[in-house]
Amino acid sequence: MSLAKAHAISLLGLSGTPVQVEADISANLPAFVLVGLPDASLSESTSRVRSACTNSGFSFPARKITVNLSPASVPKSGSSFDLAIAIAILAAMEVVPNQSIQGVLFIGELGLDGKLSPIRGVVPMVLAAKNAGFQKVVVPLANLGEAALVQGVETYGSSSLLEIVQVLRSGAQWPDQLGLLERRDSSAGESNLGHDLDLAQVVGQPVAVNALVVGAAGGHHISMSGSPGAGKTMLAERLPTILPRLTMEQALEVAAIESLGGQLSQVTELNQTPRFQAPHHTSSVAAIVGGGKGFPRPGAVSQAHRGVLFLDEALEFQASALESLREPLESGRVVIHRSAGSAVFPARFQLVLASNPCPCGFFGSVKRDCSCSVIVRRRYESKISGPLYDRIDIRLNIAAVSLSAKLGMAGQAPTSDAARDRIEAARAMAKDRLRGLPYQLNAQVPGTLLRGRLSPGKQAMRLLDRHLHSGKTSMRGFDRCLRLAWTIADLEGATTLSAEHIAQALLLRGSDERGALQ
């Protein structure tokens, strides 16, 4: 035979498309040609595949080898096609039997010595293979753990081309390397939860702890302002520990993003803990929202998908980096446009901004005097644009613990487990109320609905109206307050809004003035 077909996956963002790799060996002058819209990185594949085959003991015939990747319209990039190309050629050379590669998908980069190197994006590739109906997927051994996170398809790991050829030729069973990886039951994933972080470790911040619980229950974004050392990071780090655990489906979605970022290696179970991402304030726009040369990579907003994105020293970030958050905050995803096509990454996260009250950090502090002028402070606060600021429902001032303790406010915070139970119950209440609507969390509910169908009783409304007319609250602030009040009611198990819920919400919501970050 001089014509054979193998299968691979082309990945753009998280979406994979099966690609047929056809190899034809003809009696023309010796050559090795790759056709079907391969990009520069893929064109290099010919050298790697030739050396890998030769060094594995399978020298190419002195003929013309043509490899066609179809459909030609699907953009193809990267080195993950190496293995499928080599297998297609070896099948065309009749080194491996053609029927042994039917229904099998091959993923992997080849070294010149014929060894298989790990690649990025194995989880979304295996998912795409499964959805396209493939029964077996062969991946580099180093990627086997993550490949096996996808249920419903057989995954095999191999360290070299020679080993794969031997299995295909002998018709033997694939070696059970997965057993070696100590595959544990996915329900035993408790050990991944928040390591040793717990809400109960927070001492003397009852207002902030309550705000975290309300934020987690309603999906409300949070900003925290306070002097250095007030405990903003400590609080933010504990938010993932009180968020509901990810479902298996959500955990797989998060694993696919991490696989693409090259963060998974030999994990053997899905991590159901919501993630915590804290990019540094010097991060580029690409590091925040994703991008980069060639193969687009997910940014911090996607790595925080279904978890928490924490921006410490938020006002020190480049304005363009802060602005880039608007798209994911509005749509829950990031689209990266490339000439070959658009990569889409999910990015639905809970945002926590922390900032100093002013450039010197001590405005409003009793410890030290602030050395900043009013103008300097105003300019500092205005670095967060109005549209971004409008999306933050909870605005907190964090006082240093010693001060709170002195004022007699010190109290024991609940454990993360206890807080999470309350939050899950509150979310269930919200879900029930929002049944039939395209929203799950109070933070997503638009103002028209809050003031219409979900309008609170007269007494509660009167309190809010008074704030609106006194100029203490804008219309946006009014809606934000209603959202928070519903979450507070849900946490109490109340089915209607009371004036007390509104009063508590007014405290959490902070001021509408741009001075609110202080």
| Binding region for Zn ion (CB under 5 A) | 358, 360, 363, 370, 372
CB 298 within 8 A of CB 290: yes
State in angstroms the smallest separation of the CB of 385 from Zn ion. 22
State in angstroms the smallest separation of the CB of 514 from Zn ion. 16
Q: Which is nearer to Zn ion, 259 or 356 (CB)?
A: 356
State in angstroms the smallest separation of the CB of 450 from Zn ion. 37
Compute the distance between CA of residue 476 and CA of residue 512 in angstroms, rounded to an integer.
9
State in angstroms the smallest separation of the CB of 409 from Zn ion. 24
Q: Which is nearer to Zn ion, 47 or 373 (CB)?
A: 373
Compute the distance between CA of residue 272 and CA of residue 247 in angstroms, rounded to an integer.
7
Q: Which is nearer to Zn ion, 368 or 466 (CB)?
A: 368
Compute the distance between CA of residue 489 and CA of residue 500 in angstroms, rounded to an integer.
9
Planar angle of CA 51, 57, 61, nearest 5 degrees: 70
CB 98 within 8 A of CB 4: yes
Q: Give, for 41, the enclosing helix (H) or strand (E).
A: helix 40-43
State in angstroms the smallest separation of the CB of 227 from Zn ion. 9
Q: Which is nearer to Zn ion, 365 or 487 (CB)?
A: 365
State in angstroms the smallest separation of the CB of 359 from Zn ion. 6
Which of 368-391 are b and which e, b meaning 16 or more Cβ less than 10 Å from the residue's Cβ? Answer: eebebeeeebeebbebbeeebbeb
Take residue 303 and report the two structure tokens written for it. 């790595």
Planar angle of CA 262, 263, 264, nearest 5 degrees: 100
Kind of pairing between the strands at 64-70 and 31-35: parallel
CB 354 within 8 A of CB 384: no
Write out the DSSP string of 456-467: --HHHHHHHHHH
State in angstroms the smallest separation of the CB of 368 from Zn ion. 9
Q: Which is nearer to Zn ion, 473 or 518 (CB)?
A: 518
State in angstroms the smallest separation of the CB of 362 from Zn ion. 5
Write out the DSSP string of 466-507: HHHHTTSS-HHHHHHHHHHHHHHHHHHT-SS--HHHHHHHHH
Compute the distance between CA of residue 320 and CA of residue 332 in angstroms, rounded to an integer.
19
State in angstroms the smallest separation of the CB of 388 from Zn ion. 23
Q: Which is nearer to Zn ion, 89 or 370 (CB)?
A: 370
Q: Which is nearer to Zn ion, 359 or 447 (CB)?
A: 359
CB 270 within 8 A of CB 276: no
Q: Which is nearer to Zn ion, 1 or 376 (CB)?
A: 376
CB 16 within 8 A of CB 9: yes
Expressed in angstroms, the distance from the first to the final Cα of the chain is: 75
Q: Which is nearer to Zn ion, 228 or 292 (CB)?
A: 228
Phi, psi (rounded to 5 degrees) for 138 = -105, 125
Classify residue 120 by its DSSP letter.
S
Q: Which is nearer to Zn ion, 151 or 373 (CB)?
A: 373
Q: Which is nearer to Zn ion, 345 or 363 (CB)?
A: 363
Q: What is the dihedral of CA 430, 491, 507, 400, to 10 degrees?
A: -130
Q: Which is nearer to Zn ion, 45 or 355 (CB)?
A: 355
State in angstroms the smallest separation of the CB of 373 from Zn ion. 9
Q: Is 5 helix (H, G, I), strand (E, B) or coil?
A: strand
State in angstroms the smallest separation of the CB of 510 from Zn ion. 19
State in angstroms the smallest separation of the CB of 512 from Zn ion. 22
Task: Give whole-number Cα distances, 224 to 61, 208, 393, 396, in Å.
Answer: 68, 9, 11, 5
